[in-house]
Chains A and B, each alone.
Chain A
Amino acid sequence: MHALAVRGLRKSYGSVQAVRDVSFTVQPGEIVALLGPNGAGKTTTLEILEGFRTRDAGTAEVLGLDPGDRPSSRILRERTGLVLQDIAVEPYLTVRETIARDAGYYAAPRGIDATIGLVGLAGQERRKVRSLSGGQKRRLDLALGLIGNPELLFLDEPTTGFDPSARRDAWQLVRDLRAAGTTILLTTHDMEEAQALADRVVVLTGGLVAAEGPPSELGGRDTARARIVFALPAGYGPADLPLRARPDGGGQLVIETDAPTSVLQQLTTWAVERDLELAGLSIERPSLEDIYLQLTDDDAPSRKPEGSMR
């Protein structure tokens, strides 16, 4: 059974179609990232799944239940955790009190001190929330998402405002949660985050799914032609090479190939025989970001978003 499944999801705000047709599934124990620019429909999709918004059309199933169904909402809230985009914590409670309060809402919560340790707030238990830094408040938010020991966790841009080391820690925590069996659906517009965390990425743009797959295969990344980039020393030109190369416009030469191993050997053998050093020699594959920018290109006529909506 899927941990989560949506089919033909649609949602408009007035005349703005935030979500036009979104379908995807998440398997138990999987980390799936919804990737897309602002206004792509990520948060709206997430909020429909979290039960905060109604949908205009389509089906949605979360842990086998319909998130739009009022009577079952309490069961769902017991079994799911979420971290919203905005930091929302009472300023005058301490870290421990904030977590203990929410722990009291669940039938089978995680341990309070264990949760504080998980998000890296050990030693801060007695501090007032208002005296925490932005990143620490965000961790507290994360702790509130985890305190119910959820089977499924929704993370809406979870590492916004984290410094690089806190971000690494948060990623490790997310991986550890997955290792412990938690299913995670997150939104991000950080390519690196999607690459580092997600088993699968669903790219949304203009309320539609533009592509879906493991980050390493997205948009044919794995099968795309490799680009060998290098520069020739002064006095040599493309005509001297045993292979066809074209200038990339930035003073370097590019060879695109499906067989980078043998092409590279030919090229380097040629250079070594002449005792030449090829400056800036590198092999590139399209990065996730290249693919993402290609997919979410606003000029692509069929995917042009009709309005901006967070």
Chain B
Amino acid sequence: MTTATVASSQSERGPARRSRSALSLLAHQVRYEQLTFWRNPQNAIFTFVFPVVFVTIIGALFGGGGRSPYFGGLSPLQYYVSTIAALSVLGSCYGQLAVALAMRRQNGILKRVRATPLPAWAYFCGLLAHCVLVSLVDVTLIVGIGRIYGVPLPTHWLAIVVTLVLGAAAFCALGVAVASLISNAEAAPAVAQLVLFPLLFLSGTYMPIHSTMLNNIAGWLPVRPFNEALMGPLSEHAGADWKHLAVLAAWGCVGSVIAIRRFRWDPRPE
């Protein structure tokens, strides 16, 4: 270790530079979240390969299928492009955060972050922005594959972006909430999936549900409203679906309250 440079640094402690602006701090944070994310091959596989492969297989299976009442008047591929797009957002927001934060807490990375002057809001807004970006890439890929199989491109882009951002925010909040409730990082992936998997089936992600009762129940849970809200602008050329978005926002609030009350930076309990 070189020693000569130590002495100079303290004397160079000039007048404190002004704290950087909130926006540049956020950009800094998002940049490093992105780097951390894209460098990890596991993330790439779980977040991208799975939905892309799924849509590709569905496309090969149903490629020529026309509109049918079974798929609510959509072609099978139109239906799956939007539910798998929703699934990819769930994976990159809820799934990613529940696991990554439990992991980061367990191995002390969160505690290290807490030891720096980085404000908590910057850390979480950075994560949210990062997850929204990953979701956008994911959805664009899936819509692109759908296009190759002949699914018409959506027209209400603004509605899609609004739905995606709101959905991503809500599922991020729920992901942080789950990470806050799990104390053992090894259990995080299992718990996160255990909650999600039945919900996906119930919400028509893998196949349309025609039971009115089930649909009514699922309508109050977080996944189906997001599926429905995304299906409108993505496949039916409709605008933003405010009713379903409101349910989603309510879940986002529930997640946020749990996250704010229960989130811990320290791996060991107080």
**Interface, chain A (partner B; CB < 8 A):** 50, 52-54, 74, 77-78, 82, 84, 86-93, 97, 101-102, 104-108, 110-111, 114, 117-120, 122, 128, 144, 148-149, 169-170, 172-173, 176-177, 179-182
Contacts and interface: CB of A to CB of B under 8 A. Distances in A.
Given A97-B35, A106-B116, A118 B13 contact: no
Interface stretch (B15-23, B152-160, B165-173, B250-258): B15-23
Contacts of A148: 116-117
Contacts of A88: 107-109, 111-112
Contact of A84 (B1, B3, B111, B270): B111
B115 A93 contact: no
* A-B interface, 8 closest residue pairs, ranked by CB to CB distance from nearest: A88-B108, A92-B39, A120-B1, A176-B6, A180-B10, A105-B116, A86-B108, A105-B118
Given A114-B5, A117-B5, A90 B17 contact: no
30 contacts: A77-B117, A84-B111, A84-B112, A89-B109, A90-B36, A92-B35, A92-B36, A92-B39, A101-B28, A101-B32, A105-B25, A105-B116, A106-B116, A106-B117, A107-B117, A108-B13, A108-B14, A108-B16, A110-B9, A111-B9, A114-B5, A120-B1, A122-B2, A128-B39, A149-B13, A170-B1, A173-B3, A179-B6, A180-B7, A181-B10
B73 interface: no
A77 B1 contact: no
Contacts of A107: 16-20, 117
Please report whether the interface of chain A is mostly helix, strand, loop or mixed according to DSSP: loop
A9 B109 CA distance: 27
Nearest to B10: A180
B39 A93 contact: yes
B68 interface: no
Given A88-B109, A101-B32, A169 B115 contact: no
B107 A117 contact: no
Contacts of A91: 40
Contact of A118 (B6, B39, B265, B266): B6
Nearest to B265: A52
Interface of B: 1-3, 5-11, 13-14, 16-20, 25, 28-29, 32, 35-36, 39-40, 107-109, 111-112, 114-119, 265-266, 270
A83 B192 CA distance: 32
A120 B2 CA distance: 7
B117 A176 contact: no
B58 to A, nearest CB: 32
* Most chain A beta-carbon contacts within 10 A, residue among B18, B28, B117, B266: B117
A172 B3 CA distance: 8
Nearest to B114: A52
Contacts of A114: 5, 9
Contact of A149 (B10, B28, B40, B109): B10
A50 B111 CA distance: 11
* Most chain A beta-carbon contacts within 10 A, residue among B36, B116, B270: B116
Contacts of B19: 107
Nearest to B14: A108
B177 to A, nearest CB: 22
A173 B25 CA distance: 30
Contacts, number: 107
A70 to B, nearest CB: 11
Contacts of B265: 52
A299 B246 CA distance: 66
B6 A180 contact: yes
B1 A119 contact: yes
A182 B116 contact: no
Contacts of B7: 176, 179-180
Contact of A50 (B16, B107, B115, B117): B115
B1 A182 contact: no
A142 to B, nearest CB: 10
Nearest to A79: B117
A82 B1 CA distance: 19
Contacts of B6: 118, 173, 176-177, 179-180
A124 B245 CA distance: 49
A106 B116 CA distance: 8
Contacts of A117: 1-2, 5
* Most chain A beta-carbon contacts within 10 A, residue among B6, B7, B32: B6
B191 to A, nearest CB: 23
Given A89-B112, A120-B2, A179-B6, 7 more contacts: A77-B115, A86-B108, A107-B20, A149-B9, A149-B10, A176-B6, A177-B6
Contacts of B112: 84, 88-89, 144
B115 A84 contact: yes
A173 B29 CA distance: 30
A181 B5 CA distance: 13
Given A88-B112, A180-B6, A181-B10, A54 B270 contact: yes
A107 B5 CA distance: 20
A173 B5 contact: no
A54 B36 CA distance: 32
A120 B19 CA distance: 29
A97 B32 contact: yes
Contacts of A110: 9
Nearest to B8: A180
A176 B9 CA distance: 11
